[in-house]
Amino acid sequence: MTYEPKPEHRFSFGLWTVGHPGFDPFGDPVREVLSPVQLVELLAEVGAWGVNLHDNDLVPIDASAHERDQIVSDFRKALDATGIVVPMATTNLFRDPIFRDGAFTANDPRVRAFAIRKTMRAIDLGVELGATTYVFWGGREGVETDSSKDPLRALGWYADAMNFALESKPNEPRADIYLSTTGAMLAFIETLEHSEMVGVNPEVAHEHMAGLNFTHHVAQAWSMGKLFHIDLNDQTPGRFDQDLRFGSANPKAAFFLVKFLEDVGYPGSKHFDAHAYRTSDYEDVKAFARGCMRTYLILKEKAERWNADPQIQELVARITHDDGSMAPYLGPYSAERAAALHELELDRRAIGARGQPYEELDQLTIDLLLGAR
Amino acid sequence: MTYEPKPEHRFSFGLWTVGHPGFDPFGDPVREVLSPVQLVELLAEVGAWGVNLHDNDLVPIDASAHERDQIVSDFRKALDATGIVVPMATTNLFRDPIFRDGAFTANDPRVRAFAIRKTMRAIDLGVELGATTYVFWGGREGVETDSSKDPLRALGWYADAMNFALESKPNEPRADIYLSTTGAMLAFIETLEHSEMVGVNPEVAHEHMAGLNFTHHVAQAWSMGKLFHIDLNDQTPGRFDQDLRFGSANPKAAFFLVKFLEDVGYPGSKHFDAHAYRTSDYEDVKAFARGCMRTYLILKEKAERWNADPQIQELVARITHDDGSMAPYLGPYSAERAAALHELELDRRAIGARGQPYEELDQLTIDLLLGAR
Amino acid sequence: MTYEPKPEHRFSFGLWTVGHPGFDPFGDPVREVLSPVQLVELLAEVGAWGVNLHDNDLVPIDASAHERDQIVSDFRKALDATGIVVPMATTNLFRDPIFRDGAFTANDPRVRAFAIRKTMRAIDLGVELGATTYVFWGGREGVETDSSKDPLRALGWYADAMNFALESKPNEPRADIYLSTTGAMLAFIETLEHSEMVGVNPEVAHEHMAGLNFTHHVAQAWSMGKLFHIDLNDQTPGRFDQDLRFGSANPKAAFFLVKFLEDVGYPGSKHFDAHAYRTSDYEDVKAFARGCMRTYLILKEKAERWNADPQIQELVARITHDDGSMAPYLGPYSAERAAALHELELDRRAIGARGQPYEELDQLTIDLLLGAR
Amino acid sequence: MTYEPKPEHRFSFGLWTVGHPGFDPFGDPVREVLSPVQLVELLAEVGAWGVNLHDNDLVPIDASAHERDQIVSDFRKALDATGIVVPMATTNLFRDPIFRDGAFTANDPRVRAFAIRKTMRAIDLGVELGATTYVFWGGREGVETDSSKDPLRALGWYADAMNFALESKPNEPRADIYLSTTGAMLAFIETLEHSEMVGVNPEVAHEHMAGLNFTHHVAQAWSMGKLFHIDLNDQTPGRFDQDLRFGSANPKAAFFLVKFLEDVGYPGSKHFDAHAYRTSDYEDVKAFARGCMRTYLILKEKAERWNADPQIQELVARITHDDGSMAPYLGPYSAERAAALHELELDRRAIGARGQPYEELDQLTIDLLLGAR
């Protein structure tokens, strides 16, 4: 098994991931800044399929129209030369001081107008580069103090502005960010005028920050037909946004995620929204990028083996055994079912005494994960 | 100001709250068990308006039909004697061994059938006692290991079973509980056949466990018309389920919640889903129950003063100032607005340089909260 | 590789671990209670070497002197018959109502006296059974409200009572437990009269609850000669006390722990303070117990391979390279070193530009962990 | 009550607090950078007593000797003109790329030498400015992956380098920082050669990040004579490092801290290690700084009232009641005490049935805190 990344794996990275120069709140940049063209070349070297971008990852916020066109033209040439595609684009609505109080939910209406206009232009840029998915991350759509903003009005402004894929995050850089989880986003989408056009872009780190099971949230999004994109990385619960290499903080959680995506046949990009440690040089940045994809492929193979393992599958069959005798009573509501159910005799104590071999099954999973079966 | 609870405040407690005998995973009960009738009398003494219950808080799971009728009749007499009402009822789907792998999402179909039947009967009981809201909390609807259950199938079973008010919680007693946040519940409701009949019952402690801003989640539920009920208590983030006295862990967070509920005119019960410390005797349980209501009323008065405070309101006006010049560009999408917006000139640097006095406003809020203004 | 547990591995379990009947705050027991003799037989069957106990795991708190002697005699016979040893004993100072406000730090002096007396007797019991390590866990030594207890006085009472191995935990069942981390315990020990007799018994779950790196705390205890015992289990950060099967929540963190213990040659018991899921029957409890030991042994073998892997060791050598040129300037303080250091020329920019291949090394570790190298 | 800050309150701020220009990992600076002299003037305007500094807050890392002397001279003039003092100084060992893998625990020995030299020079600067306390914060002394560093060797290097006040933090900017809590620091200090010269500088936010009770840690440090300095700010548990205005996240926790510091007569600086929201302009930065001190003074007055409140004190007396009958059995170990204790008769059930009015006391505390008594 070489775990070689191939185009059909649809592995993508953001310009901001492998291009992150290693600054943080307590530290200055440690790596030289590479140009978008250099970053495309780096991604080609490590075997990625796609590159994603915020508008200002490619075109500086102050660029003239002429500069913009030159940058985009150079970038496109690099894409053509390497075969790298742009599956997704997004807008930076958090870095510039104008967004210090939010973009779509800023109290100042001029900021809201600016944010919408910037987003429209960024969509144009994405379309020009071939992106078919557009992501919105409201990194500043929150508060430090609830005295400063009315959450109902903020939600209304948010809804006015939305018609894209949505990403949620509970906090950082704001103390509390609105629509803090994938679930909140999914609910919000249902209130939008063109909800059919809008889905979610869940990120491992963002759900893990709140100590939540990411795979369960992805399952909910998938069951609603709303898994438009996904951000793969890793994160220890209850911490600052770490954006670690995929699978590097908790390989078991990563396994169940990969297994889910492969089992349902998720067709979209596997996008790695992570960055290398600040201790890395660019050789180690490549090790980071290769590691993201390699770990995904290792876990993909393990998922296949899990599905084919006779002892595991015997346990799964036992656990999910259904002799059909309950079929008349279960399923969507009907008056007949309800009436039948009222009469049903069940031996509560006998059923309650029945154990399930979940420790055994989980240990087999650990064995498989660790290569010990 | 006496902060005296009155019926119009609609303060309610569960039988399981003031009746909690003080066990926990590491400790045996420390208080004698009181009967439902004694608990109704206790609630009357401290000035509560309503009492809520799980089916088995009132009727033991093993009671005969005759025993059940006697218990319900005694209970109704106590209600009549005290004027206490039953605004909400719910089903215990977590305590009995039969639910060790879940109720509506148990792998065993007999358990799922039993759970639905138990819920139907509990609804009958609630209706008999006058309850107008029915709550479902899926305390066992989760997993310890994702190897044990398919999350997509579990969500399907869940949806089949649902037509009630829903409460979410991220973990405990299961390692991961499905539909872990209020947002996930709101999204899930949109997938139900009779979604118009189903709302949420958010609980302070459950969102705080995941470190989330509870008021923001309540605001989202309210904006969707789904705030059917509310569980008031308190909790420090990232811990076991503490169910502390309302406002006792973080009075500032409680203030913004009370302010929200009062500002929008939330008409439902203010239900306290908390219990006294294990160190308490029943005199202290009463102090606990009185304290829940008293703190709510203190914070309600502070919310009114916040709304009437000229200096605070001057800041709010400044913060939310809108001279109307952006009106042509903002609001729901239209082609004209989009075109106009493309042409709009905005001075990004000048707007970005503008600060907002949020520290000042938050400090005034702290002053008001601490009685220092 | 069979990963068969053997006596030299010194694997031990508490009576309370495999004997846990599956209750939790929301659920009644689901498994029948086994006697201490039956539990010793179960541990022998799965291959454990030792069994640990709280006084009341073996002898009920209300047993007469005669009953006690009979129970201890039966238990000793089971030990002799199976070869199982009792390496550690401890006192239950948390379950009985008398400890509702703490044991050594209860406000009531009668409780403090009772707790010390109970501990002395439990030590006698442990000695009688051959235990060489005595553990104290102050599960109730804390507060729900800081208004109730003076922390300085509580620490004084605590110090008066202490001469045993100490275990720390941040919260649950109290809102805040004194001496909440292994570090706090280590510092506290230095203030005791016979500090040389007292060490720590760190537990994976307790440090993980607070989101801390357990291995770092174990390293600190080891470096101070204070690692008297260890509790192996697993836990997701920021949650209730889960006591999961060793290595089942985060196998990577477990790997670094096992590697540390094996590298330094930790000679004590590898004690598993965990319990099976509530969904388990006793067959699955055995799978749980076997899984704890098996995962330890798998990780032990991986640690050996990590130490022998040429590519990994080449990276380690590169990372820790020291050409000796800094030796005159480093090491414990001396006036000469300080003077020399003042004159030393170093190229800050060149050194800062040097990256370290930590992503590469971590990915090789993941590869090894997943059996992909 | 005007809550006016005065020199005897010993309120101090770091240059880096009121001078923070509002960048974060996702955002560029939003406020112009003020010079050290301007910041001293700002602190004088809001009524602070002291100013603390990292070496590079005052003197850029690249400054020549001549530039350094000019900057220090200008700064001293501003101190003299305003009466502001420099009670504490510290070294920036985290911002420059040379520290990307740590300072005292970097794998590269040149970095360790550079860090010690930089610290010696920074101490000289602090002494020159009159600082009597020197603080060390090891912001980079940690790892992203435990594969990269041996924790035992790192602790050894750390001990070699240390003779200063120590500050702990669990994570950010490193995934795991060594000596992550105040307790771990206190234990570590006991291993140093000149441990009598070294104490701790606990910070509210750093213990709150890990969900720990900060007051308990301060009490432990005080009880060991090790509370050399303190960093006051605020933080929600389980999040990125927020450095919020003192008392603004949880005023109740802040109350118990202030009460403790005032009750024991902590004589040192009350240092505010926080910064204003990114939404603030410099007028709001002043509101932030004034608010830190004002909230402290409000809570100080409340602590005095708590101590003088007859109803509260009656409860405290009841809770801590001791009739002296246990005195022969309690206190430090002696053979007589142990023997007497063995014979003591205590009624376990009666004592266990006794409740404590902690809910009542906590509610009175909340009433007092909210100005409702």
Do D356 and C171 count as a contact with CB atoms less than 8 A apart? no
Q: How far is B3 from chain A (nearest CA, A)?
A: 24
| 3-state helix/strand/coil string of B85-150 | ECCEEECCCCCCHHHECECCCCCCHHHHHHHHHHHHHHHHHHHHCCCCEEEEECCCCEECCHHHCC
What is residue C165's predicted lDDT score, i.e. its pLDDT?
60
List pLDDT tens digits, range B183-242: 999 999 998 888 888 899 999 999 999 999 999 999 999 999 999 999 999 999 999 999
- Is C96 an interface residue toward D (CB < 8 Å)? yes
What is residue C193's predicted lDDT score, i.e. its pLDDT?
83
| Sign of the alpha-carbon dihedral angle for B102, D238, C235, A301 | positive
Q: Is residue C301 within 8 Å of C254, Cβ to Cβ?
A: no
Which of A9, A20, A55, A57 is flagged as catalytic? A57
Report how far apart, in Å, the C-alpha atoms of C17 and of each of A297, A360, B4, C233 are.
37, 16, 49, 11
Do A95 and D236 count as a contact with CB atoms less than 8 A apart? no
Q: Is residue A146 within 8 Å of B256, Cβ to Cβ?
A: yes
* Residues of chain B neighbouring D353 (CB-CB closer than 8 A): 30, 281
Do C186 and D182 count as a contact with CB atoms less than 8 A apart? no
Report how far apart, in Å, the C-alpha atoms of D330 and of each of C156, D232, D354 are.
12, 37, 21
- Is D100 an interface residue toward A (CB < 8 Å)? yes
Instruction: Establish whether A69 is a catalytic residue.
Output: no
Do A359 and C3 count as a contact with CB atoms less than 8 A apart? no
- Is C180 an interface residue toward D (CB < 8 Å)? yes
- Is D248 an interface residue toward A (CB < 8 Å)? yes
* Residues of chain A neighbouring C252 (CB-CB closer than 8 A): 248-251
Q: How far is C28 from chain B (nearest CA, A)?
A: 6
Chain B and chain D share a number of CB contacts under 8 A equal to 164
- Is B178 an interface residue toward A (CB < 8 Å)? yes
| Sign of the alpha-carbon dihedral angle for C344, C350, C353, C356 | negative
How far apart, in whole angstroms, are the C-alpha atoms of residue D232 and residue D230?
6
Task: Report the residue from C211, C251, C363 with minimal CB separation from A366.
Answer: C251
Compute how many other C-beta atoms are within 10 angstroms of the C-beta atom of residue D291: 26
197-216 of D, contacting B, C-beta below 8 A:
211
Return the residue of C nearest to A32 by Cα.
C353
Do B173 and C24 count as a contact with CB atoms less than 8 A apart? yes
Do B236 and D211 count as a contact with CB atoms less than 8 A apart? yes
Query: Residue C319 has which token pair?
Result: 């990372």
Do B187 and A120 count as a contact with CB atoms less than 8 A apart? no
What residue type is assigned to position A22 of the chain? G
Neighbours of chain C (3+ CB pairs under 8 A): A, B, D
List pLDDT tens digits, range B295-337: 999 999 999 999 999 999 999 999 999 999 988 888 877 888 8
What is residue D163's predicted lDDT score, i.e. its pLDDT?
57
Which of C20, C55, C57, C234 is flagged as catalytic? C57
* Residues of chain A neighbouring D95 (CB-CB closer than 8 A): 26-28
List pLDDT tens digits, range C33-47: 999 999 999 999 999
Neighbours of chain D (3+ CB pairs under 8 A): A, B, C
Do D245 and B359 count as a contact with CB atoms less than 8 A apart? yes
- Is A283 an interface residue toward C (CB < 8 Å)? yes
How far apart, in whole angstroms, are the C-alpha atoms of residue D345 and residue C194?
28
Q: How far is D360 from chain B (nearest CA, A)?
A: 5
How far apart, in whole angstroms, are the C-alpha atoms of residue C175 and residue A19?
44
Under DSSP, is residue C153 helix (H, G, I), strand (E, B) or coil? helix
Return the residue of B nearest to A102 by Cα.
B352
* Residues of chain B neighbouring D367 (CB-CB closer than 8 A): 294, 298
- Is D137 an interface residue toward A (CB < 8 Å)? no
Chain A and chain B share a number of CB contacts under 8 A equal to 296
- Is A148 an interface residue toward D (CB < 8 Å)? yes
Task: Supply the mean pLDDT for chain C.
Answer: 92
Q: How far is D148 from chain A (nearest CA, A)?
A: 10
Pick out chain D residues at pLDDT < 50. Answer: none
Task: Report the residue from B24, B94, B99 with minimal CB separation from C173.
Answer: B24
Return the residue of B nearest to D244 by Cα.
B359
| Sign of the alpha-carbon dihedral angle for B27, B33, B36, B40 | negative
What is residue A163's predicted lDDT score, i.e. its pLDDT?
57
- Average pLDDT, 10 consecutive residues per value, chain A (373 residues): 89 94 92 96 95 97 96 98 96 94 91 89 93 89 88 84 69 84 92 87 92 93 93 93 94 96 94 92 93 95 96 93 89 83 88 91 96 94
Q: What is the ipTM of this complex?
A: 0.89
Per-residue pLDDT band for B164 (boundaries 50, 70, 90) equals low
Beta-strand ranges (E) seen in chain A are 11-14, 50-54, 88-90, 133-137, 142-143, 165-167, 176-177, 231-232, 270-272
Do C155 and D220 count as a contact with CB atoms less than 8 A apart? yes
- E strand or H helix that includes residue A361: helix A358-369
Instruction: Establish whether C194 is a catalytic residue.
Output: no
pTM of the model: 0.91
pLDDT(C154) > 90: no
* Residues of chain D neighbouring C325 (CB-CB closer than 8 A): 109-110
Which of D54, D208, D217, D271 is flagged as catalytic? D54
Question: What is the share, in percent, of chain B residues with pLDDT greater than 70?
Answer: 99
- Is A310 an interface residue toward B (CB < 8 Å)? no
Do D341 and C116 count as a contact with CB atoms less than 8 A apart? yes
How far apart, in whole angstroms, are the C-alpha atoms of residue B236 and residue D212?
10
List beta partners, residue B90.
B54, B135
327-366 of A, contacting D, C-beta below 8 A:
none
pLDDT(C171) > 60: yes
Q: Is residue D41 within 8 Å of D78, Cβ to Cβ?
A: yes
Q: Is residue A40 within 8 Å of A52, Cβ to Cβ?
A: no
Nearest Cα to Cα of residue C156 among C191, C118, C184, C108: C191
Do C279 and B144 count as a contact with CB atoms less than 8 A apart? yes
Q: Is residue B135 within 8 Å of B88, Cβ to Cβ?
A: yes
Do C346 and D113 count as a contact with CB atoms less than 8 A apart? yes
